[in-house]
Chains A and B, each alone.
Chain A
Amino acid sequence: MVDQTITAGKPKPGSRLRAWGLLVIGFSCVWVFAFIVGPWIQDKIPTFRKIVQVIEERDIDAGAYFYSENKESYDGERYLLESLRLGAPEEVGFTLPFIGSIVLCLIILGLGYRYLPMD
């Protein structure tokens, strides 16, 4: 990323109190969402309430960004790979259709490189 000239926001002279007030309001909004608005929304949408229940029972990290941050990803990986090995061993690994899909991916990106609009 290109770092622009870093200009930190500066409060105008004489408005220090206002600035601190806004900061406190900002943190208060977070508190209100965490303890009042958020739980209220969860209660109003039945499916969401059930999803929250599942998240809490199974201790799922619903905020995770990458597969390695959820142990369920590893469980799923193990289950699916072993299922495939047991039920359809001919489909496991780098078969011709599998390699073909990877090649197709690279061809699509290659076409994009060549033909994406420059304006």
Chain B
Amino acid sequence: MVEREILHVNTDDFYASVLRLRDPALRKRAVVVVGAAPRGMVFSASYEAREDGVTRGMTASAARRLSSRATFLPPDWGLFRRASSAIFGVLRRYSPVVESASLDEGYVDYTGCSRLFGPALDAGRMIKDEIARETGLAVSLGVASNKLVSHVASRSAKCANLVDVYAGYERSFVAPVPVARFPLVGEKRAPALCELGVARVGDVLLFTEEIFAFCFGSWGRRLYRGALGEDTAPVRTRPEIDERFTVEEILEPDRVEYRFLEGVLYRLAERLGEKLRAERSLAGAVGLEVRYADGMAAKGMGRPGTQEAGSAGGAEAPASDDFSIYEAAREIFARAYARRVRVRSLVLSAGRITPAPLQLELFAGDREAAVERRGKLYAALDRLRSAYPGRAAPAFGRALA
């Protein structure tokens, strides 16, 4: 079996660094990215601000007390997304299999690519140089035989280093890592492990896998496998999101009601559909990002299904109609909205963009006739919405939540 070679690429201090590119006067100064006042929470803190004790998820007022020298800025999501897409553009030159874990980090399946670009250590240098040249950002890289260990490696590679863990030594490498810093655990689950006397990842192996599975279910089993340095998860390529087709709604105030959020989702689907139709484009993929009030985010991707007239389901095909986009978004939302935490904003985006066909079928059947009717309906709706913008525009009931 071919030994896998996975690179985890992590941008150093991404949010602060991107804001520093916009305003070089912020260089070497403490920067804290916070949501809108007065409920603003710290979304990201630069290394300098972290030295003062500022951490992600704390309130802006607490952060101001801790770090009076810091500059507090609102997030510029458009800028963050552009920087992220430039980074992933570089990564895709080195392997066709690239997974975006968040805006600032991702995995590259480098297996077999060393024939083209040399060993991962050398490719890492080239990746770092290209990202620095094209975006001005610094990255750290971890190389290992699986995603989990490469993630731990890139964390220990901070800043602007590369850590290559040789195959067969994954277990030795993760053993001394404190459980709170292990990707599968995090700070919330660490106390439960500490009660068992598990302070470091290697301590997990003092128990049996069955005990961990009994205590913590499937997560316990995953953690046990992780402590052995094993992770079979593949690097999944997600469709590339087109920056032109991204819509966001920031909630004032933060909301938690599921039905209300579904209504917001429908409004976003309407806006995204309108953008796609204005550009005569179809989306083959829909992405949704749920941003929580505590700074955490969850995201997912799905495929829109073209809704047949009078039927509940439909074939998966590129689409630009509101219902198809909404149905895909709602499915992603059901998966992504797993925490009972207030939501700050929802971001809906489209990917795998293809041009909408201009030519209609010569011998149109029922399906084509339905598509044509729906096209006319949306064209009329778009005209009305542009004539009566905002809440005065005609809308479906579910969008009025």
Indicate whether A and B interact. no
Give the interface of A toward B (CB within 8 A).
none
